[in-house]
């Protein structure tokens, strides 16, 4: 039986690797991204089981139209689309704050709710939301991003609670220091890389593959009794904050 997965933000970075892993796990994948031409190219590169579409996750009409084009309700939804807006809160323009909230939090809400309605009729499925360790603990200049990702963590708990009766499990993956996607450029500086690797108990940066493996686990029957959880995939970083004392 064909199982459909929707992966948002799948044109680049972690989302593209999640889409690729989902195809390897036997899903047909609807890869959604605001960058339409890039996501269509990514889908072609992954193969015929992946179809790209231009979708703005923060625009309910755009999401509804793409959902209506799915041949059947998805069994797995991965809310991966996200943006960073860094800056000290004292100087952060409200527009930057709103952009982070709109894509990361409102976008997750719109996509999850739109597709959950179809999943209810189909008998359930799994939703995996991408948060961040910044949604669990504060980090310098990350106030807007952290607030949006903390919102994703709590929203995940509410969706898990409300939709369990419909057979929908909802969980979060919180990536740590990942050498991929939006963080790629940071690690071009060897000194930054050395310091950050040194802070991670497992002594390496994470990869997009590390994140994809956790997402597919939470989407699979192997996690059939797990819902409302946030799994930090961070080499032990967030649980070792007292290590330097």
In terms of Cα–Cα distance, which of 89, 101, 182, 109 is closest to 149?
A: 101
Q: Does 181 bind ligand NAD (CB under 6 A)?
A: yes
Sole binder of ligand NAD in the list 76, 100, 119, 180 (CB under 6 A): 180
- Nearer to ligand NAD among residue 55 and residue 168 (C-beta): 55
Stretch that binds ligand NAD, among 23-31, 113-121, 162-170, 172-180 (CB under 6 A): 172-180
Question: Dihedral sign, CA of 163, 164, 167, 172?
Answer: positive
Q: Does 60 bind ligand NAD (CB under 6 A)?
A: no
- Nearer to ligand NAD among residue 23 and residue 81 (C-beta): 81
Is 187 known to be catalytic?
no
- Nearer to ligand NAD among residue 17 and residue 116 (C-beta): 17
- Nearer to ligand NAD among residue 20 and residue 56 (C-beta): 56
Q: Does 11 bind ligand NAD (CB under 6 A)?
A: yes
Contact 21, 188 (CB under 8 A): no
Contacts of 131 (CB under 8 A, 6+ apart): 149, 150, 152, 153, 156, 172, 173, 174, 230
Q: Does 40 bind ligand NAD (CB under 6 A)?
A: no
Q: Report in angstroms how near the CB of residue 178 gets to ligand NAD at its nearest.
A: 4
Q: How many residues bind ligand NAD (CB under 6 A)?
A: 28
Q: How far is CA 190 from CA 50, 93, 204, in A?
A: 36, 31, 13
Q: Does 235 bind ligand NAD (CB under 6 A)?
A: no
Q: Does 83 bind ligand NAD (CB under 6 A)?
A: yes
- Beta-strand pair 168-175/230-233: parallel
Q: How does DSSP classify residue 80?
A: -
DSSP E strands, the chain: 3-8, 27-33, 50-54, 76-79, 125-130, 168-175, 230-233
> 82-99 burial, b for 16+ CB within 10 Å, e for fewer?
bbbbbeeeeebeeebbeb
Q: Report in angstroms how near the CB of residue 233 gets to ligand NAD at its nearest.
A: 9
Sole binder of ligand NAD in the list 53, 103, 116, 168 (CB under 6 A): 103
Q: What gap in Å lies between CA 146 and CA 140, rounded to an integer? A: 10
Sole binder of ligand NAD in the list 13, 73, 143, 151 (CB under 6 A): 13
Q: Supply the residues annotated as catalytic.
A: 145
- Residues at the contact surface with ligand NAD, assessed by CB under 6 A: 8-9, 11-15, 33-35, 55-58, 80-83, 103, 107, 130, 132, 175, 178, 180-183
């Amino acid at each position: 039986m064909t199982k459909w997965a929707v992966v948002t933000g799948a044109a680049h970075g972690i989302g593209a690797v999640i889409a690729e892993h989902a195809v390897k796990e036997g899903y047909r994948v609807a890869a959604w991204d605001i960058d339409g031409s890039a996501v269509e190219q990514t889908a072609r590169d992954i193969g015929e089981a992946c179809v790209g579409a231009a979708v703005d996750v923060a625009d309910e009409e755009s999401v509804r139209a793409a959902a209506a084009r799915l041949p059947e309700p998805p069994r797995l939804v991965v809310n991966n689309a996200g943006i960073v807006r860094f800056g000290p809160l004292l100087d952060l323009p409200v527009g930057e704050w709103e952009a982070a909230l709109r894509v990361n939090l409102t976008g997750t809400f719109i996509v999850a709710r739109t597709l959950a309605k179809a999943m209810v009729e189909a008998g359930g499925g799994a939703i995996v939301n991408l948060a961040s360790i910044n949604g669990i603990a504060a980090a310098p200049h990350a106030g807007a991003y952290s607030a949006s990702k903390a919102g994703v963590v709590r929203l995940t708990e509410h969706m898990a609670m409300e939709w369990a009766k419909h057979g929908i499990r909802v969980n979060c993956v919180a990536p740590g220091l990942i050498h991929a996607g939006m963080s790629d450029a940071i690690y071009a500086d060897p000194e930054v890389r050395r310091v950050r690797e040194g802070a991670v108990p497992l002594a390496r940066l994470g990869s997009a593959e590390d994140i994809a493996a956790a997402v597919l686990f939470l989407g699979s029957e192997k996690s059939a009794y797990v819902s409302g959880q946030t799994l930090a995939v961070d080499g032990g970083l967030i649980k070792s904050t007292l290590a330097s004392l």
